[in-house]
Amino acid sequence: MIDRILSDKEVIRLRNSLEQHNNFILTCHLSPDGDAVGATLGMKHLLEAMGKTVHIIAPDMVPRSLLFLPGAKDIIAYSKYTELANRLVGNAQMIICLDFNTPKRLDNLAPVITESKAKKILIDHHIGSEEFCDLTISYDHMSSTCELVFRAILGMNMYQLVNRKCAECLYAGMMTDTGNFTYNSNDPDIYNIIAMLMKKGINKDRIYQLAINTSSADRLRLIGYSLDKKMEVFADCGAALIILTKEELQQYNYKKGDTESLVNMPLQIPEVYWSVFMREDDEYVKISIRSQGDFAVNTICEQHFNGGGHKNAAGGEFYGSVEDARAEFDKILDEVKAQQNEENTNK
Ligand code: 5GP
Ligand code: MN
């Protein structure tokens, strides 16, 4: 028996909303990842099985590695098809926001969504969701939004409406947000959910192969270079840092998504329990931080990099040069050292 998580009130309100409206817009965060794409597509396939009209609008493009998911090529990037997206939002009766907790994560799409007259629902698993929807379904102990969506489907007694396409998309999100079930993945329900998704005919090995285990030669060389020449390890503070400049990225014909999961690699070193990756972009330095155990990186991203996220996976942006971003990292190292000293003296 899988725990359904949502309260009865939430289930009733969600089901009524889905049943009573016909024209839906689904949206997710900037630089959509497997969970954002999987949750919006999973919800789209469910709604289409109910006979609804559904469009997905993402703030920007879906990464190449996820385009194999059924329906992914029809996702409208607001950055590219702004007028079409504005028109579709204008006609929508209901907007469902998935996998983000603040309109800020919608980038330029934010005002279009927040100012729309359509009814809005948020379904998310990030800590501390903002109140910008009529119904907020937020459970931060869920390993992925896709897992939460599946539990919502079960709660609404709609499992029979889940087709193979829907199951594939939800599985992809659960898999990517847990690093192929290697973190945040000790809840036995996750595996009962996977079994229920597999009964819909999905090929989970193929999804892993296409979403995670596929790389261009350029990407593999860039990863090799980053680990060999750019990774710094600060064993006394349990930290690792990789910085890539625009010039270095260009040398390896960088394409969006090529550095995905690089930030996790230094965590393979037993002494390292937090890992920082900085990538120089046009307008800012993109920051990604991952950690293991109790070391919270979302607060670091909030305090230093205009960002946020989860305890063990967070990100943000630094507005300044790579050198200044590096100086900010040194400040964080000092803070961590001071904290360690304090803890040692209190022992
Ligand atoms: P990534 O490092 O893959 O870009 O992001 C990891 C997680 O950190 C995301 O799932 C998201 O929750 C969070 N995150 C990344 N970038 C930002 C940001 O700019 N702002 C906030 N609030 N969260 C972010
Ligand atoms: Mn997610």
Give the model confidence (pLDDT) of 214-269 as tens digits. Answer: 999 999 999 999 999 999 999 999 999 999 999 999 999 999 889 999 999 999 99
| Domain limits, the chain | 8-211, 217-346
CA 6–ligand 1 middle distance (angstroms)? 25
**310, 311, 312, 319, best to mutate for ligand 1 pocket (most atoms within 8 Å of CB):** 310
Q: Ligand 2 being an ion, which residues bring their Cβ within 5 A of it?
A: 35, 99, 145, 177
d(CA 296, CA 300): 7
Average pLDDT estimate for 31-60: 98
Largest CA distance in the chain: 64
Architecture of domain 8-211: Alpha-Beta Complex (3.90)
**Closest ligand 1 atom to Cα of 317:** 19
Q: Is 274 helix (H, G, I), strand (E, B) or coil?
A: strand
**pLDDT band, residue 345 (cuts 50/70/90):** confident
| Closest among 39, 56, 68 to 173, alpha carbons compared | 39
At residue 144, does pLDDT exceed 90? yes
Encoded tokens for 158: 């709609």
71 ligand 1 Cβ < 6 A: no
DSSP-derived letter for residue 334 is: H
pLDDT of residue 74 exceeding 80, the answer is yes
Q: How many CB atoms lie within 10 A of CB 193?
A: 20
The CB of 300 under 6 Å from ligand 1? The reply is no
Global confidence as pTM = 0.92
Nearest Cα residue to atom 20 of ligand 1 = 307
Would you call 61 exposed, middle or buried from its count of C-beta atoms within 10 A (0-12, 13-18, 19+)? middle
Can you list the alpha helix ranges (DSSP code H) found in 156-263? 164-177, 188-198, 204-211, 217-225, 246-251
**Atom of ligand 1 at shortest distance to CA of 316?**
19
For 132, residues 6+ apart whose C-beta sits below 8 A from its C-beta are 102, 103, 114, 120, 122
The model's confidence at residue 189, banded by pLDDT at 50, 70 and 90, is very high
Q: Is 314 in the pocket of ligand 1 (CB under 6 A)?
A: yes
Of all helices (H) and strands (E), which one includes residue 287?
strand 285-291
Per-residue model confidence (pLDDT) at position 1: 86
DSSP states of 182-200: TSS---HHHHHHHHHHHTT
Fold of the CATH domain 217-346: Diaminopimelate Epimerase; Chain A, domain 1 (3.10.310)
